[in-house]
């Protein structure tokens, strides 16, 4: 794999699917995932590793499309709702690229499973890490943290259907990561090595990455 130079690494996946763990690993191995993160809380004491710059844009797109994270708009609604934020996306991406220089960088916000369509003209060179987890466990976690706000199966399907369509249409490199294989000690090292290879980091960083994980 050619060494990436300033390439954005975007983490995609449903809320409570394990995207925070992946983002924290990337940040630990030297891929800047942002400067000002969403604060940790009782549901994720280790932090979400969500860059507030992108979080603000994504929340705005959802709101402008008459949606919210647990009642996501359709892809056409997202595309239309994001038109207002084209300049903000351009300025934010440009600033991140300038700061990163030749170093890879990235971000994570589950809403990007849908708003990836709005960002794509600015990140044609991006690589995507897609995090999946057993649906029953995502739903259990969502019910524990947010109650029965929505039909979680429908919401999960909307997020991942958008990702699948997006990656099918576009030819960007992508990596599928299973949360279970990441946090179960038997499989974790090999999963980390796959991530390191994907982002062109040396295998010797595996222990640094593993130190993030609380094994199940």
pLDDT digits (tens, 9 = 90+) for 71-108: 999 999 999 999 999 999 999 999 999 999 999 999 99
Share of the chain above pLDDT 90, in %: 88
- In which domain, by residue range, is 12 found? 8-37+56-210
The per-residue pLDDT for range 38-64, each reduced to its tens digit, is 766 666 667 678 999 999 999 999 999
Residues 6+ apart with CB under 8 A from 70: 146, 149, 150, 155
- Average pLDDT taken over every residue of the chain: 94
Rounded mean pLDDT of 15-34?
96
In a domain? residue 3: no
Structure-token match 């630990």, residue found: 28
Separation CA 108–CA 115 (nearest Å): 12
Q: Is a pLDDT exceeding 70 seen at residue 115? A: yes
Could you tell me if residue 83 is inside a domain? yes
Instruction: Please indicate, yes or no, if residue 85 is contained in any of the structural domains.
Output: yes
- Give the up-direction half-sphere exposure of residue 214: CA atoms within 13 A in the CB hemisphere: 6
CATH number for the domain harbouring residue 72 = 3.40.50.300
Cα–Cα distance for residue pair 25/28, rounded to 1 Å: 5
pLDDT of residue 13 exceeding 60, the answer is yes
Q: Residue 44's pLDDT is what?
A: 66
Q: Residue 71 falls within a domain, yes or no?
A: yes
Q: Does residue 69 fall inside a structural domain?
A: yes
Is residue 82, in this structure, part of any structural domain at all?
yes
Q: Specify if 32 maps to a domain.
A: yes
pLDDT of residue 41: 63
Q: What is the pTM of this model?
A: 0.94
Could you read off the pLDDT of 127-166 as tens digits, one per residue? 999 999 999 999 999 999 999 989 999 999 999 999 999 9
- Position 4 pLDDT exceeds 60: no
Residue-level pLDDT at 110: 97
- Count of domains in the chain? 1
């Amino acid at each position: 794999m050619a060494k990436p130079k300033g390439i954005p690494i975007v983490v995609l996946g449903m809320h409570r699917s394990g995207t925070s763990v992946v983002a924290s690993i990337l940040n630990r191995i030297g891929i800047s995932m942002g400067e000002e993160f969403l604060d940790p809380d009782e549901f994720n004491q280790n932090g979400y590793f969500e860059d507030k710059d992108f979080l603000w844009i994504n929340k705005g797109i959802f709101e402008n499309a008459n949606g919210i994270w647990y009642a996501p708009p359709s892809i056409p609604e997202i595309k239309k709702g994001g038109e207002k934020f084209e300049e903000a996306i351009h300025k934010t991406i440009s600033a991140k690229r300038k700061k990163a220089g030749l170093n890879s960088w990235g971000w994570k916000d589950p809403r990007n499973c849908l708003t990836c369509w709005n960002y794509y003209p600015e990140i044609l060179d991006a690589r995507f890490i897609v995090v999946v987890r057993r649906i029953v466990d995502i739903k259990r976690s969502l019910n524990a943290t947010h109650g029965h706000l929505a039909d979680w199966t429908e919401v999960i399907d909307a997020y991942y259907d958008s990702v699948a369509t997006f990656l099918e249409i576009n030819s960007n490199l992508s990596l599928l990561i299973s949360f279970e294989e990441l946090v179960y000690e038997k499989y974790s090292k090999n999963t980390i090595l796959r991530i390191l290879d994907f982002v062109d980091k040396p295998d010797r960083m595996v222990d640094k990455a593993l130190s993030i994980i609380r094994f199940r």
